[in-house]
Structure 1
Amino acid sequence: MSNYIKFTLLAAVSMILWSGCSKFLDTQPQGEYTEDNYPYPAGGGPFDSYLFGAYNELRSYNIHVDGFVNAFSIRSDDADKGSTASDGGADVISMDNFPVLPSSGRANALWTGHFGLINKCNTAISFIDSVGESVGTEELRLQGIAEMRFLRGYAYFNLVRLFGRVPKMDKKIENVSSPVNIPQSTAAEIYTFIEEDLKYAIQYLPPSWDAKFNGRVTKGAANGILAKVYLQQHKWQQAYDAANLVRNSGQYDLSVDYNKIFSEEGENTKESVFEIQATASPAVTQANGIQYASLQGVRGSNNWNLGWGWNTPSESLEAAYEAGDPRKARTILYSSTSTVKNKSIFGEDMPIYPTDVPNPRYNHKVLSSPNLRNTISRGSWWMNVRILRYADVVLMFAEAANELGKSEEARTAVNEIRERARRGAAAGILPDITETDQASLRTRIRQERRVELGMEHDRFFDLVRWGTAQTALHAAGKTNFQNSRDVLLPIPQTQIDLSKNLLTQNPGY
C-alpha cells in the first residue's frame, strides 16, 4: 500500500449503474479498472455494476459523515462537538447538548441517506430477480442478493437505533428519495426484518474475498452485525452464538497491534470485519474517498489545518482509562501547551492550545499519515471507516456469555482484549481481570468496551441498551438529556410533512 492506490468497490458512477448499463465504469479511477479490464468473470460477477452502486452509498455524506459523526458519537459521553462554540450552529450543538429538534437537517439527512441506500439495494435485488437464470449462475445470483440484503439490514439497523419506528421498504420505489407513502412499522417488526436479511446474507455470502475486492461483505461481517443486532435486543443466546461463529471462523484475530489498526497500514487486516473503503491520489483527492476523517481533523493553521475539528474526546472518556493504558494515547490526540510539547503517533509536534488550535484534545484514530497529507491533501479522504472490528465481536461475545452465566468464557474473552492492549507496555499494566460474579464482570466488560472502542460509534447505543444513558450523560455534563425523549432522534418534520402526516412523531418531541 506504499503508493496507497487501492481497488475500491465504491467508485461506480450512479448514473451508469441505474440506467441498466452492464459495464462497471465509464472512467478509470486512479489508473485502476476500466470497462475493458474489469476482472469478470475471473472473480467478479455480472451484477457487480448494480451491487457497487449500493456499496458506493456507504461513503455518502448523509450516511457515514456529518450526521453519522454527530448522532453516533457526539451524542455520547465519549465526545464533545469540538471546534469553536458557534461552529455548526444550533443544529450541531443540539446533537451535543440535546434535545435534537424535529427540524434538524442532520436527522433528515440521516433519514434520506439511509433510505436512499435501501432503495439502491432493493433496485439491485429487483434487477437480479428480473433476469432470472438468463444471467449468471445461481451461486452468483444468490451471492449478489445476499450482499444487498446485508447492506439493507445494516441500513435498517442504523435507522431503528436512530429513529425507532420507521417505514419498512422491501421493494424498489421509483423516482423518490424517501418512502413517504409507507406507514411506520414498530421497532420489533423492523428488528425481525433486519434479522431475516442478515440470516439470508450469512447463508450465501463467502467467508472471504480476493484482496482486489476488499470491502465486499462476508459471512463474518453478517454474523458480526447480527450479533450486534441481537445484543441491542438483549437476545443473549443468539448474540453469543453469532459472535462465536465469527470467533471460530478462522478469518479474524487480535494479532494486529492496537497502534496500527487505525493507520493506513492497518486497513483490511485480520482486525477488520466490516470496513468502508476509500482511496485518493494527488490527481483525485476526494471523488473516490469519504469526508469522515476530514470532519474530525485537527482544526488549526498551516500544516495543522486538517479539518473541522469536530468530535473531540471528552474529559469523561479521558478519565475512563486505567493508568498506563496504551490505548488512551492512540485514541486521544493531545494538543501541546505553552509548557508541554505533545506529539502525534507519527512523532509530529502538536500545535499549542489555545493559541494555535481551539481544542485541547482531538480524535487520534482518524489522524492520517503526514506523508500522504503532504502528497495528496490535508483532508485525508482516503481513510477507511472501521464499522466493525474483531475486538468488538470478542467483547460482544464476552457480554453475552456473562449474561448467560458463562463467566469463565466471558473473562477469558475480555482478557484476550487486554492482552493485546498491553503488548509492549510496562510490567503490571492492564493485568488480567479476575472477577467471577456476574455483576462485577458486567461492569468490567462495559468498561472494557468503552476504552477499547473509544470514539468508534457505539458508545451512545451501548448506554441506551444498558439503560444507563441518562446517568452517564448527566455525569458528563449533558444534563439536557431526557431518557423519555432523547434515546431516539425525532422523526424529521420534513418527512412527516411529505407524508401528509402518515408518519407520526416520536414521544417527547
Structure 2
Amino acid sequence: MLNSKFKFFSISTLGLMLLFGSCEQTLTEEPQSIISPDAFFKTTDQCRQATNGVYSHLPGIFNQTGFWSVTMAGTDLFMNQGGSAAIEAIQDYNFSAATETNSHAVWRVCYAAIKDANFVINRISASEIDEEDKNSLIAENKFLRAMYYYILTNVFGDVPLWTDELRMEEVAQLPRSPLADVRAQMILDLEQAAASLPLNYDSNNVGRVTKGAALTLLAKVYLYAKEWQKAYDTAHQVEDSEYILLPRYADLFDPYNKSKNNKESIFEIQYMRSAETNQNFVVNSYYTYFFPTGDAAGGTYAGVDFGTVILQSYPQFYPTQYMMDLYAPEDERREVSLAWGFNGKPFNRGSKDDRPWFGPKFWDLTANRTASEKNFYFLRYADVIMVLAEAANELGNVPDAIGYTNLIRARAKAPLLDPADHLTQADLRAFIMEERAREFVGEFQRKWDLSRWGELVDAIQSIRQDSEDGAKNVKPHHALFPIPYEEIVKNRNLVQTPEYQ
C-alpha cells in the first residue's frame, strides 16, 4: 500500500521554502538525510520517493476539519450540532472574508502540495532515469497537481495558477487566474497523465494513480465546465475498463474496513493502522464527527454495545429532514447512510431529538479512540455512471440517462425509473441531482454539486425548517468561499472576490 510500503521523501529536506510562509506537514517514513536537490533525482527509486512526497499531502487535506467544513457544512444534507463556531458560521451563511471558516487550511495545504508537484515534475523531467519510468512518474504528479487545483477551484473559483518551479517571492505575488485558464491546465495535465499511466499496479503499489483515475477526474472537470459531449466521451472510456459496481452498496462501506481498494474504487485516500499492534501509521478522525455519542458509564454508545474496541465520538453533524426523506424504504443505501441501531439493538437516543445517527458508511469499528484507518473515496465507478447519466441527459439523450441512473438504483434495490413515464429532460435533471445526494452523501461532493448546478440557494431555502438562519442568509456568491484574508494581506496582487470585499 502506498502509505505503508513506500518511503516518503520529504521534499522539505531539499531546502525548499514553504509557500507563503505556511506550515507544511509532510509524511516521512525512513527519513532521508539532508541532501541538495541537484544531488537527488538520480535514480528511479529517488524519483519515486519524491513523488510519494506529493501524494503524502492527501491524507492531511482529507483529514482536515476545514475540508469537511467547506464540503459538507452549509448543504441540504448535514446540520451542525453547535460544537464548532466555524462550522456553524458556514451552515448559517454568516461569514465574511475576515471570518475564520477553516477554508484557509485547504488553501494552504493544496498550494504546499502544488509547489511540491511543480518541483518534482521539473526535476524528474530533467533526470536521466528510464524513459518509461520517467513518463509514468511525471504523469502521477500531473494527476495530483490537477487534483489539488480541482479542490481549490471548487472551493474558491479563480485561484493563482503556476506550474513552474518558482522562487517564493515570485509565487507570493501571483494574481488569481480565471477559472477557465485553471481548468485548461487541469485538462492538459489529466490528458497527459492518462496517456502515460498504467491501467493497474501490482499489490505492492496499491493506491497509486491509474489511467482510469486520470480519465475519471478529466470527465468530472469537463462535467463541471458543462462540456457535456467531452464529459460523456471521456467517462465512456472508463466505462469500457475493468471497474465494476460492487453487488451491494454496503460492500463499499464495511465498518470493519474490509472494502479498501475494491473493484469499484478508482482512487481513494489511503490510511493505515494496525489493530493487532495498536500502531498508527497514517490515520484520520473523520468517523468521530458522525458516530453515536458514548454513554457516561462507558462501553456503550447511545445505549448499544459496539464490542471491545475503544471508540471516540464528537458528533458534529446530524441528518437534515430532507436527507432522511430522500430514500425509499426499500433503498438499501438508507440503512448504510443512516442508523437507528446496531446489530439488531435500537439506540436509546437519536442524533438530534428522534433523528437517526449517520450510519455505517461513516463508521470505523477498527478505530482506537480518534485514530481511524478508513479510506476516503475520491473517485469510484458509480461516479463514472452518474457522469454518463448527467451528460447524456444534458445532451438530450433521456433514454440513455435513465438507463445509467437505473444501474445505480438497481444496485441499491431502489425503484427503477420507468421510460414509459416519459420523463422530460428537466424532470430527469432534478432526479439526477437527488440521486447524487443519495449515492454520494458524506463523500465531499454535495456542496460542489449544488454550486456547479447553481442550486445552492434553492437547496438551503428548501430546508428552512432545519436551517432557518441559513435559508435567510444564503446568497448566490456563497457557492464559493472568499480568498483567505491572510493571503490577501500578504499578496497585493491577490484581489478578493467582489461580493466578499
TM-score range, shorter chain: 0.7 to 0.9
What is the correspondence of 1:113-262 to structure 2 with a 5 Å cutoff? 113-131=109-127, 133=128, 136-173=129-166, 179-249=171-241, 251-262=242-253
Deviations 1:149-189 (A, max 9, x none): 1011011011111111111021234568x943211101111
- Deviation at 1:480? 4.0
Aligned residue runs from structure 1 range 62-461, under 5 A: 62-82=61-81, 85=82, 87-89=83-85, 91-103=86-98, 104=100, 106-131=102-127, 133=128, 136-173=129-166, 179-249=171-241, 251-263=242-254, 264-282=257-275, 283=277, 285-301=279-295, 302-303=298-299, 304=301, 306-334=312-340, 342-343=341-342, 350=347, 352-353=349-350, 360-369=356-365, 372-373=366-367, 377-422=368-413, 429-434=414-419, 435-436=421-422, 437-461=424-448
Cα offset, 1:118, TM superposition: 0.8
Aligned pair in 2 of structure 1 residues 354, 186: CA closer, same or farther (>3 Å)?
A: closer
Q: For the Cα contact (< 8 Å) 1:163–1:488, is it kept in 2? A: yes
TM-score normalised by L of structure 2: 0.84
Instruction: Supply the distance in 2 between the matched residues of 1:241 and 1:16 (Cα, whole angstroms).
Output: 37
- How many residues align structurally? 455
State the percentage of identical aligned residues: 29
User: CA 1:254/1:13 → structure 2, altered by over 3 Å: closer, same or farther?
Assistant: closer
Question: Alpha-carbon deviation of 1:17?
Answer: 7.0
Amino acid at match of 1:115: Y
| Aligned counterparts of 1:275 and 1:165: Cα–Cα separation in 2 | 26
- The 2-side partners of 1:273 and 1:431 are apart by 26
**3-state secondary structure, aligned to 2:282:** coil
TM-score, normalised via structure 1 length = 0.83
Q: SS of the residue aligned with 1:388?
A: strand
User: Given that residues 12 and 49 in structure 1 are in contact (C-alpha distance below 8 angstroms), is that contact kept between their aligned partners in structure 2?
Assistant: yes
SS of the counterpart of 2:75?
Answer: coil
Match of 2:54 in 1: 54
**CA apart distance, 1:307:** 3.1
Q: In the superposition, relative to structure 1, how do residues 468 and 130 fare at CA in structure 2: closer, same or farther (>3 Å)?
A: same
Q: Secondary structure at the match of 2:244?
A: coil
Q: CA separation in 2, counterparts of 1:392 and 1:215?
A: 18
Q: Distance in 1 between matches of 2:497 and 2:146?
A: 22
Q: Structure 1 residues 183, 27: CA separation in 2 closer, same or farther (over 3 Å shift)?
A: closer
**Separation in 1, partners of 2:157, 2:103:** 13
What are the Cα deviations for residues 232-277 of structure 1, in whole angstroms up to 9, with x where unaligned?
Answer: 111100110111111011x211134211101211111111011011
For the aligned residue pairs, the C-alpha RMSD in angstroms reads 2.7
- Judging changes above 3 Å, is the alpha-carbon distance between structure 1 residues 483 and 211 closer, same or farther for their aligned structure 2 residues? farther
**Aligned equivalents of 2:222, 2:11: Cα separation in 1:** 37
Structure 1: which 5+ residue stretches go unaligned? 1-5, 29-40, 335-341, 423-428
Instruction: Specify the code of the residue in structure 2 equivalent to 1:272.
Output: S
Partner of 2:23: none
**How far is 1:316 from its partner?**
1.3
User: How far, CA to CA, are the matches of 2:219 and 2:11 in structure 1?
Assistant: 35
| CA shift for structure 1 position 328 | 1.0
CA distance in structure 1 between the aligned counterparts of 2:11 and 2:149, rounded to whole angstroms: 26
AA at the equivalent of 2:228: W
Single out whichever of 179-188 and 435-444 deviates more from structure 2: 435-444
Distance 1:359 1:69 in 2: 21
* Inter-CA distance 354–203: structure 2 relative to 1 (3 Å threshold): closer
1:421-448 superposed Cα distances (whole Å, 9 cap, x missing partner) = 11xxxxxx52343244322222222222
Tell me, what secondary structure is at the counterpart of 2:136? helix
Amino acid at match of 1:260: D
Partner-residue secondary structure (3-state), 2:317: strand
Query: Which moves more between the two structures, 281-290 or 220-229?
Result: 281-290
Question: Which one of the candidate residues 467, 487, 508 is aligned to 2:499?
Answer: 508
Can you list the C-alpha shifts for 1:272-329, whole angstroms capped at 9, x where unaligned? 0110111002546444223333344334343445232123322211111123211111
Contact 2:77 2:319 in 1 (8 A): yes
